[in-house]
C-alpha cells in the first residue's frame, strides 16, 4: 500500500482516485462532468479532487471509503443508550465538523466489538447503560495494550464526586456532566469547530 504525503491526501488526480477506488478513470471523469463528484481545475486544465469531496461522494452513494482516505481525519466514537441524544450528536458532528468521522453505539458490547477496526482518537462514554456499564467498558479498554492509549471522556447525568473519582482512576481523560456540548468534545480531538468545518 502506497504511503501518501499530507499534500497528496488533500488533492488527488482522477487517476489517483480511479486507482484508489479500483475503477476506470473515465468513470471518475463522468462523475465529475455530471456534477456528482466535485472537482477543481489546475491552471494547466487538470482535474483535482479534494479528499473531503471524495469522501462525501462515497458516503452519499453508500460506497466504502478506503482506509487511506481516513488517515488524515480524526475519528470519534460515542457510546450512549439514549438513541435520540446520539442522533442529535451525529447531526451536530456532520454540520459542525464534517472532517471528523463519527461512530455511534447505544451499548458497550457492540462498541467494543468495533473499536479495534475503527481505532478512534477519542471515545465518549456514558456511565449508565444496560448490559455492561461505562465503568466496565473503560476498564476493559484501559487493560488492553491495543486500546489503552485511546482518549476517553466519561459523561454522566450525575455530578457524583465518587463516580468522577472512579472514572479518573480507571484512566478517563475527563468526566463531563450532561448535557455535553459537542465543542468541548471536539477540543479534546484537537479541533476547534470553526477549523473543523474548513
Query: Is the pLDDT assigned to residue 67 strictly greater than 80?
Result: no
CATH assignment of 6-70, given 3.50.50.60, 1.20.1250.20, 1.10.1660.10, 3.30.300.130?
1.10.1660.10
Domain boundaries 74-196, corresponding CATH code = 3.40.50.2300
pLDDT digit string, tens, across residues 15-48: 889 988 989 999 999 999 999 999 988 888 889 8
Question: Taking the domains of the chain in order of start, what are their residue ranges?
Answer: 6-70, 74-196
Query: Is the pLDDT assigned to residue 3 strictly greater than 70?
Result: no
pLDDT digit string, tens, across residues 84-112: 999 999 988 888 887 788 899 999 999 99
Query: Is the pLDDT assigned to residue 72 strictly greater than 90?
Result: no
Q: What per-residue confidence (pLDDT) applies to 144?
A: 92
Name every residue whose Cβ is closer than 8 Å to that of residue 198 and which is 6 or more positions away in sequence.
99
Name every residue whose Cβ is closer than 8 Å to that of residue 110 and which is 6 or more positions away in sequence.
none
What average pLDDT does the structure give for the chain?
84
Instruction: Pull the grid cell for residue 17.
Output: 482516485
DSSP 3-state of 66: coil
Amino acid at each position: 500500500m502506497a504511503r501518501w504525503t499530507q499534500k497528496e491526501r488533500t488533492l488527488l488526480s482522477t487517476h489517483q482516485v480511479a486507482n484508489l477506488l479500483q475503477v476506470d478513470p473515465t468513470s471518475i471523469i463522468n462523475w465529475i462532468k455530471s456534477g456528482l463528484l466535485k472537482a477543481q481545475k489546475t491552471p494547466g486544465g487538470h482535474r483535482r479532487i479534494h479528499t473531503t469531496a471524495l469522501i462525501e461522494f462515497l458516503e452519499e452513494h453508500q460506497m466504502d471509503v478506503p482506509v487511506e482516505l481516513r488517515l488524515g481525519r480524526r475519528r470519534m466514537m460515542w457510546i450512549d443508550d439514549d438513541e435520540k441524544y446520539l442522533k442529535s450528536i451525529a447531526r451536530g458532528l456532520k454540520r459542525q465538523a464534517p472532517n471528523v468521522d463519527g461512530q455511534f453505539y447505544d451499548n458497550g458490547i457492540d462498541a467494543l466489538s468495533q473499536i479495534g477496526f475503527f481505532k478512534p482518537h477519542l471515545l465518549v462514554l456514558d456511565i449508565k447503560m444496560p448490559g455492561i456499564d461505562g465503568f466496565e467498558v473503560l476498564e476493559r479498554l484501559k487493560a488492553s495494550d491495543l486500546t489503552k492509549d485511546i482518549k476517553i471522556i466519561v459523561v454522566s447525568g450525575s455530578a457524583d464526586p465518587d463516580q468522577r473519582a472512579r472514572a479518573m482512576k480507571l484512566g478517563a481523560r475527563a468526566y463531563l456532566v450532561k448535557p455535553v456540548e459537542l465543542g468541548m468534545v471536539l477540543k479534546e480531538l484537537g479541533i476547534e469547530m470553526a477549523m473543523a468545518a474548513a
